[in-house]
């Protein structure tokens, strides 16, 4: 099953550029309290639309971003996963981020998509290092970063939604990735 705007595929997933028509599926993720606990709560309609607008703008500005994760077996959008520029201290770093509909947690989809994004980051975008920035209470996302071969490089505080939130910066460098592949 090939879709328009497909970036790449894995054995079970298609990652493609998002479109405005993905708003309902994105809302089911970003407006779910349990899913968004690491963000201190669900997003409003406006915050969800802003998220989608930022994603679409990221494609235009950088040629990549968070992509819709489509389940091959059903054609359903079950999450987003991709690469964005994120602030880490005074620097911007390429980060693999992911958010999945809670109905699909625990089935390995986030790790499958994140690992494919790492390959894309090194092979297509030619980054020397790729990050995942994770709130220190988000154990499932930490486990995805670890499954992606990443190590904790830094601890820092991120100010978000009027709160100071401790975060961990995981990363893997190109040379580490090459060693792991051997």
pLDDT, one tens digit per residue, over 21-41 is 999 999 999 999 988 877 878
Domain that holds residue 102: 6-181
Q: Please provide the distance, in angstroms rounded to a whole number, between the alpha carbons at the two ends of the chain.
A: 31
**Domain count of the fold of the chain:** 1
pLDDT digits (tens, 9 = 90+) for 120-163: 999 999 999 999 999 999 999 999 999 999 999 999 988 877 88
Instruction: Output the CA angle 67-98-169, nearest 5 degrees.
Output: 125
Confidence band of 4 (pLDDT split at 50, 70, 90): confident
Confidence band of 1 (pLDDT split at 50, 70, 90): low
Residue 1 lies in a domain: no
Residue 59 lies in a domain: yes
Residue 54 lies in a domain: yes
Classified as helix, coil or strand, 138 is: coil
51-77: average pLDDT: 96
Residue 168 lies in a domain: yes
Confidence band of 180 (pLDDT split at 50, 70, 90): confident
Q: Which CATH number does the domain housing residue 103 bear?
A: 3.40.630.30
Q: Which two tokens stand for residue 125?
A: 């975008």
């Amino acid at each position: 099953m090939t879709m328009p705007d497909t970036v790449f595929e894995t054995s079970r997933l298609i990652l493609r550029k998002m479109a405005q028509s993905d708003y309902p599926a994105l809302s089911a993720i970003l407006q779910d309290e349990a899913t968004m606990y690491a963000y201190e709560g669900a997003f409003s309609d406006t915050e969800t639309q802003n998220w989608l607008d930022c994603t679409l703008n990221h494609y235009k500005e950088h040629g990549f971003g968070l992509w819709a994760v489509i389940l091959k077996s059903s054609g359903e959008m079950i999450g987003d996963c991709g690469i964005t520029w994120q602030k880490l201290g005074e620097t911007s770093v390429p980060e693999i981020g992911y958010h999945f509909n809670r109905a699909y947690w625990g089935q390995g989809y986030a790790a499958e998509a994140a690992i494919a994004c790492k390959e894309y980051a090194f092979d297509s975008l030619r980054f020397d290092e790729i990050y995942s920035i994770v709130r220190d209470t988000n154990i499932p996302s930490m486990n995805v970063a670890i499954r992606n071969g990443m190590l904790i490089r830094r601890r820092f505080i991120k100010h978000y939604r009027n709160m100071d939130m401790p975060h961990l910066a995981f990363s893997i460098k190109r040379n580490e990735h090459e060693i792991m592949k051997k």
